[in-house]
Structure 1
Amino acid sequence: MSTFTLGQDTFRIYKINSKKHESVSYKRRDYFKISLLTAGTGMMYFSGTPVWVEKATLTFFNPLLAYSWEPTSKTHSGYTVLFTADFLPGPLRRPPLFSPDLIPVYTLDKAAVKDLVFIFEKMIAIDESDYAQKNELLAHYIQLIVHEGLRLQKVPKPMLQNNAAERITRQFFDLLWKQFPVRSPEEVIQLKNPSHYADALNVHINHLNQSIHTISGKNTTWHIQQKLTGEAKMLLMQTDWPVADIAYSLGFEYPSYFNRFFKKQTGLTPLSFRK
């Protein structure tokens, strides 16, 4: 689920074998994307709706669907293919598979993972070849994956209808994600706990907590802690900032508070995790 781009191409395929904690920012893209996650865990957000991923999954993304990815494991592996609309016949780009009103995340059994890994590996080999008609062949394999998604279509979870709880939840996630990533030790996040978010949204904290739990199944504190933990992991692995600076930028008054928080969330101290 690392950050990939299509550039001027109409097709790109990547094999994921990452030992980095790489978040994917919350926004729409101008291409279609299919991801096969074979190992790793994380949290996806589709138009503000969180989806916890802890097993092998096949996920379909389209240009109308805003999404982000926050890994919660230190490593993850799989495949990602990006392509433009021209690669697929019209009927396969229509709802429900690429509908912006669904969360198209499919949990896979071992047999399905094996079949899909074979298809993705074939696409990598074809893409690296000098076969003159490889684009047509690649489009054929994409259609095979799309049909596999259509076969599993009973799995996706429809997005909830617009209501007050969903509206507040989306506003909460918008505020949460706008604070990240932290780009320098001088930046300090301003919204640190559920009360801060309730004040920013002008709602009672109990109403905020109830709305978040109704939509996501998790409480407000859990989501804040998950995001703080993810950002802390990224800063520890990808910067040389002192732990005290990381603690300060993430809103902890004292490094000792951050150390206790991080160890409770991960089982490791920040310095042990960085090693």
Structure 2
Amino acid sequence: MNMLSSTPPVPVHAFKRDEASGNNWFTITRSEGGLTYEADLLLPHRKDYYLMVFVRRNQGRHWADGKAYEHPDNSFYFSGPAQMLVKEEATPFWGTHFAFTSEFLALQPSADLRSLPLIQNPHQGHELRLTEADALVVEDLLARLEAEQARPGEWQHRLLTAYLTALLTYLSRLYKEQFTGAEPSAEQRLLHAYQARVEEHFRELHEVGDYAAQLHLSAGHLSEVVKAQSGKPAIKHLHDRLVLEARRLLFYTRQPLKEIAFDLGFSDASYFNRFFKRETGSTPAQYRSNTRKMYQ
């Protein structure tokens, strides 16, 4: 595959420091019917941080990676860096949203949070449905976080970490209940590790051997395990990730096809066209035209 490294064209929103408390890794905002969405959130974008939103009530809709979510009462939405999001319109919102950085997850004593199902998200979920009892627990923990955020001082970081750990752990239990499946075996963990590396490097690394080297394995062993666990060859995972990104850019942006090809690392636009048609059955231009007609 002829590929070049590139920078993604979709805007990536950086984490905004909480100026009131001076907190560089965590923010929380409650809304009681306000229009809390900034204009740039109404355009396709990614974030370089984790965003969690508890919806008590909101008659709105947003999209995550091409899927629409309607915001039923007592719902909870979670997203991590690189996921593509867009809000359709600003509508009155009752609930709370909070955000934290990847750096926070690397800090002690919060490092174990990285292993929680809500953070790992092995099922690529985005929405949790909360019972009224669940909603009350979540609201209580959010209120404690909000109160502590307003009290800078010696103990603030420890208490914020404690409350956030409790909240993310509680939500992870709900995640496990709503996204069912057995605990992964060693082979399944290797598959997930390969998929995570593909997610991180799919633009510049285009050979299975490159990923095998990162995982300190032979390409043959990695391919064998990935095929056995997923039912499809390791190279197909890479191709599927490229197709997903291409679909995102074709659907969400007005970028010329040549620019999309370059952004995905293809040195030749005609090769990108052939690759996309081979993988999807339609050319990039046909896909863009058909999907926009569908959602008009």
Residues 135-157 of structure 1: per-residue CA shift (max 9 Å, x gap):
22211211121112221123349
Q: Please name the residue that 1:82 is paired with.
A: 99
Partner amino acid, structure 1, of 2:97:
T
Q: Is the 8 A contact 1:41 1:76 kept in 2?
A: no
Query: Would you say 1:201 and 2:273 are equivalent positions?
Result: yes
Query: Would you say 1:172 and 2:247 are equivalent positions?
Result: yes
Greater relative contact order (Cα 8 A, min sep 6): structure 1 or 2? 2
- Choose which of 63, 82, 86 in structure 2 pairs with 1:70: 86
| Shift in CA distance, 206/25, structure 1 to aligned 2, threshold 3 Å | closer
Please show how residues 98-177 of structure 1 align to structure 2 within 5 Å: 98-99=119-120, 101-111=122-132, 112-130=134-152, 132-154=154-176, 155-156=178-179, 162=237, 167-177=242-252
Instruction: Count how many residue pairs are aligned between Structure 1 and Structure 2.
Output: 197
Partner amino acid, structure 2, of 1:79:
T
Partner amino acid, structure 1, of 2:29:
Y
Q: Please name the residue that 2:15 is paired with.
A: 5
**Runs (5+) with no aligned partner, structure 1:** 180-188, 192-198, 212-218, 228-264, 266-275
1:169 Cα deviation from its structure 2 partner: 3.4
Query: Would you say 1:36 and 2:46 are equivalent positions?
Result: no
Q: Is the 8 A contact 1:11 1:82 kept in 2?
A: yes
Q: How far apart, in 2, do the equivalents of 1:71 and 1:177 lie?
A: 12
| Shift in CA distance, 167/95, structure 1 to aligned 2, threshold 3 Å | farther
The structure where strand makes up a greater share of residues is: 1
Q: How far apart, in 2, do the equivalents of 1:220 and 1:68 lie?
A: 17
Query: Would you say 1:224 and 2:240 are equivalent positions?
Result: no
Q: Is the 8 A contact 1:44 1:51 kept in 2?
A: yes
Partner amino acid, structure 1, of 2:24:
D
| TM-score of the pair, normalised by structure 2 | 0.51
Q: How far apart, in 1, do the equivalents of 2:294 and 2:137 lie?
A: 33
Partner amino acid, structure 2, of 1:81:
F
Q: How far apart, in 2, do the equivalents of 1:88 and 1:58 lie?
A: 25
1:88 Cα deviation from its structure 2 partner: 5.5
Alignment identity in percent?
12
Q: Alignment partner of 2:170: what SS?
A: helix
1:223 Cα deviation from its structure 2 partner: 4.8
| TM-score of the pair, normalised by structure 1 | 0.55
| Shift in CA distance, 13/4, structure 1 to aligned 2, threshold 3 Å | farther
| Shift in CA distance, 172/106, structure 1 to aligned 2, threshold 3 Å | closer
| Shift in CA distance, 170/27, structure 1 to aligned 2, threshold 3 Å | same
- Backbone CA RMSD of aligned residues: 4.1
| Shift in CA distance, 109/95, structure 1 to aligned 2, threshold 3 Å | closer
1:73 Cα deviation from its structure 2 partner: 4.5
Q: How far apart, in 1, do the equivalents of 2:156 and 2:112 lie?
A: 22
Q: Is the 8 A contact 1:42 1:54 kept in 2?
A: yes
Q: How far apart, in 2, do the equivalents of 1:107 and 1:71 lie?
A: 18
Residues 235-275 of structure 1: per-residue CA shift (max 9 Å, x gap):
xxxxxxxxxxxxxxxxxxxxxxxxxxxxxx6xxxxxxxxxx
Q: Is the 8 A contact 2:243 2:279 kept in 1?
A: no
| Shift in CA distance, 175/117, structure 1 to aligned 2, threshold 3 Å | same
Q: How far apart, in 1, do the equivalents of 2:294 and 2:163 lie?
A: 36
Q: How far apart, in 2, do the equivalents of 1:74 and 1:88 lie?
A: 37
